[in-house]
A and B are shown apart, each in its own frame.
Chain A
C-alpha cells in the first residue's frame, strides 16, 4: 500500500485574517466611558438597529456592524468611516434596540472623536464654517413663500452675532480653526 504522507501543517488557505491583537482593544472602553456608552457592551448583535435604519441599505458598514467593530477595537476603520457622518440622526435604531444600546448617540460619540482627530468630512466642515460665520445655517431671504404667506421679507429682530461669538469660542469654533 502506498504510504500517505503525515499531515503536519494545516492546508494553506487564501484567507488573510485581521490580527485581533493588532486592533485597538481600548476603543471599546473609550466609547463605553463616554456619556452614551454605558450599554455598549450589552449589544448582542441582533441587527434590529440596521433593520430600523432608513438609510443603511447603501452603507458599507451597517449600524450593527459599526457597534460590533467598536466592540472589537476597530477604531481606525470606525472613525475613518463615512457612515458615522451619513447617519441621519433619526434615532430609529436607538428607539428599537432591545438592549438599550444608544446607537445614535454612540455614533455621535464617534463623530466627536473623529472630529477631535481632525477627520471632519469637507462638506460637514463647510456647514460648520457657515454656521460659525453666519450664526445660522439657512439665511432667510426674501422669497415667494414668505411673500405668499404675507410675511416680511426678512425675519424681524433676528440677531446672530451672539450665536456667532458663542460658536467661535466653543469647541466647534476651535475644531474648525484647526481644520484650516
Chain B
C-alpha cells in the first residue's frame, strides 16, 4: 500500500485535491492550521463568476443533484480523507517519494465528532463559540483565553460529552509519498500605507473585512454598517492597488482585487439601496470574462475616478473627509464618506518562505514558483505540487482547475 498524500491547506484548492484523490482511492491527509476548512472562501457570500453562494459551488459539479455544501458533503464521509484541523507542520524530512512529516495538533477541547452544535455550552460560557455556520468540521470551538466559571459547567453538562477542558496538544509523524502545497494567500494588512489611516480610523477597512460585513451570516446580518458605531453607510469609497504594483510593498498585480471590488460595488448598488459607491483606481483590471462586472458597475451607477487619494481626514461624527486627485481632469476633489475600503494586496500565507526553503523550491515574489516554467505550473519540485493561491492570487475556478491538475499528475505518477 502506498503512503498517503499530504495536502497542506484546506482552502478550496486543498479540499479539491483531497476529494479528487480520495474519490480515486488515494489516501490523503488534509491539514489546516485553522479550526475550520474553507480558507479565504469561508464567509465570502456571493462568488464571481456565477454570483452563486461560495459554500456550495464548483466542486459539486461532478455530483449532480447535490446542492448542499461541498465541504459538508464530501469531507467527513469520505474514508480516504484524514482531516486534521488546528494542525501545523512542525518539520519535513526524508526523500521525495517518502517524506517524513511531523505534525503538531492543538488541544482538541471539543470533539468535533461528538458535538451536535446544540448550543448549550455557548450559553453557559463565552469561551465557547461557533466560528461560522459554514465551519467544517461542524462543531463549536473553545478559546482557553476566555475560560470563565461557566466553562467547567458546560463541560459537565454537554449532552454528548464532547468537551474535555484538559485536552493537550499532540504530535504525530507520518510518511507521505507526495506533498501538495495549498496554503493560499492572505490579505495584506495595510497599516504601513499611512496615507489611508488603516488601523488608526475604524471606518477604514479592507475588502475582506467588507466581505464579512456584506455576508448575511456575519455579525450585521449583511447590513452595510460602519464598524465605528454600527450606523448605516450612505457613502463608500474604494481604493484599488493598495500595496500591489508598488515596489515598496508587492511588485505584482494581485489580479483578482479589481473583480471582487466591483463584485462588492455591484452588490451594494443593487442590494443595499441608496448607498453611493466610488472607486479610485490606477487601472481597472477585470481580466478575461470578468469585464462584465466593470460594465455592470458603471450601469449600476458606481462612480470611477482614475487617480489617487491625497489625504484622509477623520471627523468627529465618524465620517471621513477625503481629498482625491483626478488625473483625467487634472483636478482635486473633496468628498465625505462613511467607509473607506482598501483593495489591499494578496500576499503569500505566513510561513510560506520557510516552507519553500525547507522543500528546496523556487520562489516567485514569495509564492511557490513552478519547477519548470515551460511545463505545468502546478509541479513545484520532485513529488511536490502547488495549487490555488499558493502559486499566486487566483479566483476559485482557477484554483479548482489547478487542484484537479495536481490530482491528475499524482494519479499519473502512481500508475507508472
Which residues of A are in contact with B by a Cβ distance under 8 Å?
Answer: 10, 13, 15-21, 41-45, 47, 64-65, 68-69, 71-72, 99
Contacts and interface: CB of A to CB of B under 8 A. Distances in A.
B333 to A, nearest CB: 5
Interface in B316-335: 323-324, 326, 328-329, 331-335
A99 B331 CA distance: 24
24 contacts: A10-B312, A13-B310, A13-B311, A16-B332, A17-B310, A17-B324, A17-B331, A17-B334, A18-B331, A18-B332, A18-B334, A20-B333, A20-B334, A21-B335, A21-B336, A41-B299, A42-B299, A45-B306, A64-B328, A65-B328, A68-B326, A72-B303, A72-B329, A99-B295
A99 B332 CA distance: 26
Given A10-B313, A45-B306, A68-B329, A19 B334 contact: yes
Given A41-B298, A42-B295, A44-B304, A17 B329 contact: no
Interface residues on B, range: 20 to 34
Contacts of A16: 332
B89 interface: no
Nearest to A16: B332
B329 A65 contact: yes
Interface of B: 284, 294-295, 298-299, 301, 303-304, 306, 310-313, 323-324, 326, 328-329, 331-336
The 6 closest A-B pairs by CB, nearest first: A17-B334, A17-B332, A20-B335, A15-B332, A10-B311, A17-B323
Given A15-B310, A20-B335, A42 B329 contact: no
A15 B324 CA distance: 10
Contacts of A47: 328
Query: Do most interface residues of chain B lie in helix, strand or loop, or is the interface mixed?
Result: strand
Contacts, number: 56
A83 B253 CA distance: 38
A55 to B, nearest CB: 19
Nearest to B291: A44
Given A17-B310, A20-B333, 4 more contacts: A17-B323, A19-B334, A64-B328, A71-B303
B68 to A, nearest CB: 39
A65 B313 CA distance: 28
Contacts of B298: 41-44
Contacts of B328: 45, 47, 64-65, 68
A63 B401 CA distance: 44
Most buried by A among B294, B298, B324, B329: B329
Nearest to B331: A18
A47 B327 CA distance: 12
A17 B333 contact: yes
B52 to A, nearest CB: 26
